[in-house]
Structure 1
Amino acid sequence: MPGPSKRIAVAGGTGGIGSHVVEGLLEIKEKHSLHIIVLSRSSKPDVIYAGAAAPVIATDYNNVHTIEQVLREHDIDTVISTIVDTVPSSFKAVQQRLLDAALNVPSVRRFAPSEFAVDSEKLQSTVVFYQSKALIVQSLRKVREYNKDFEFIKFSCGLFMNYFAYGNPKPDGGKAHGHLRQFPFVIDISKGTADVPGDGNHKFCYTTAEDVGRFTAAATQLETWSEDGTMAGDFRTINEIIQMAERVTGKTFDVKYNTEDDLLARMNPNPESAMTNFYLEVLLGMIRGECDQGAELNKLTNVKPTSVESFLQAWWGN
Structure 2
Amino acid sequence: MKVAIIGASAGVGRAIADAVLNDGTHTVVILSRTAIPELSERGAIVTTVSYDSHQSLVAALAGVHTVISAIGDHSRSADAQVALVHAAVAAKVTRFIPSGWSGTDGGKDDVVELYRYKQPALDALRQSNLKWSHPENGIFLNYFASPLKGIATLKPLKFWIDVENCKATIPGDGNLKLSYTSVEDVGAFVAKALNVPESVEWPQSLRIVGTNITHNELVKIAEGVRGKRFEVVYKTAEELTKELVPDPPSIYVNLATTLSLALLDSRFSFESNFGSVSHEFVQPAEFIQKWWGKVEEST
Relative to the length of structure 2, the TM-score reads 0.92
Q: Could you tell me how far apart the structure 1 residues matched to 2:50 and 2:169 are?
A: 40
Q: Tell me by how many angstroms 1:46 deviates.
A: 4.5
Q: Could you tell me how far apart the structure 1 residues matched to 2:290 and 2:180 are?
A: 16
Which residue of 2 is the match for residue 131 of structure 1?
116
Q: Could you tell me how far apart the structure 2 residues matched to 1:302 and 1:82 are?
A: 23
Q: 1:274 aligns with which of 237, 251, 256?
A: 251
2:224 is aligned with 1:247: yes
Contact map agreement 2:40 2:46 (CA 8 A) in 1? no
Shift of the 120–228 alpha-carbon distance from structure 1 to 2, 3 Å rule, reads closer
Q: Could you tell me how far apart the structure 2 residues matched to 1:276 and 1:91 are?
A: 19
Which residue of 2 is the match for residue 113 of structure 1?
98
Q: Could you tell me how far apart the structure 2 residues matched to 1:13 and 1:77 are?
A: 18
Q: 1:58 aligns with which of 48, 52, 55?
A: 48
CA RMSD of aligned residues (A): 1.7
Q: Could you tell me how far apart the structure 2 residues matched to 1:96 and 1:122 are?
A: 16
Q: Tell me by how many angstroms 1:134 deviates.
A: 3.0
Q: Could you tell me how far apart the structure 2 residues matched to 1:258 and 1:38 are?
A: 42
Relative to the length of structure 1, the TM-score reads 0.87
Contact map agreement 2:185 2:281 (CA 8 A) in 1? yes
| Alignment deviations for residues 63-117 of structure 1 (CA, whole Å, 9 cap, x no partner) | 2111111112xx111111111235x2x42211110000010013x1000000111
Contact map agreement 2:107 2:116 (CA 8 A) in 1? no
Q: Could you tell me how far apart the structure 2 residues matched to 1:65 and 1:15 are?
A: 26
Q: 1:313 aligns with which of 286, 289, 295?
A: 289
**Identity of counterpart residues, as a percentage?**
29
Q: How does 1:1-318 map to 2 (within 5 A)?
A: 6-29=1-24, 32=25, 34-47=26-39, 52-72=42-62, 75-86=63-74, 88=75, 90-106=76-92, 108-121=93-106, 124-143=109-128, 147=129, 150-167=130-147, 173-174=148-149, 176-223=150-197, 224=200, 225-297=202-274, 299-318=275-294
Give the ranges of 4+ consecutive aligned residues of structure 1 lying more than 4 Å apart after TM superposition.
Answer: none
Q: Tell me by how many angstroms 1:226 deviates.
A: 2.5
Q: Could you tell me how far apart the structure 1 residues matched to 2:108 and 2:278 are?
A: 29
Q: Tell me by how many angstroms 1:122 deviates.
A: 6.1
Gaps (5+ residues) in structure 1?
1-5, 168-172
Q: Tell me by how many angstroms 1:44 deviates.
A: 2.6
SS at match of 2:206: strand
Gaps (5+ residues) in structure 2?
295-299
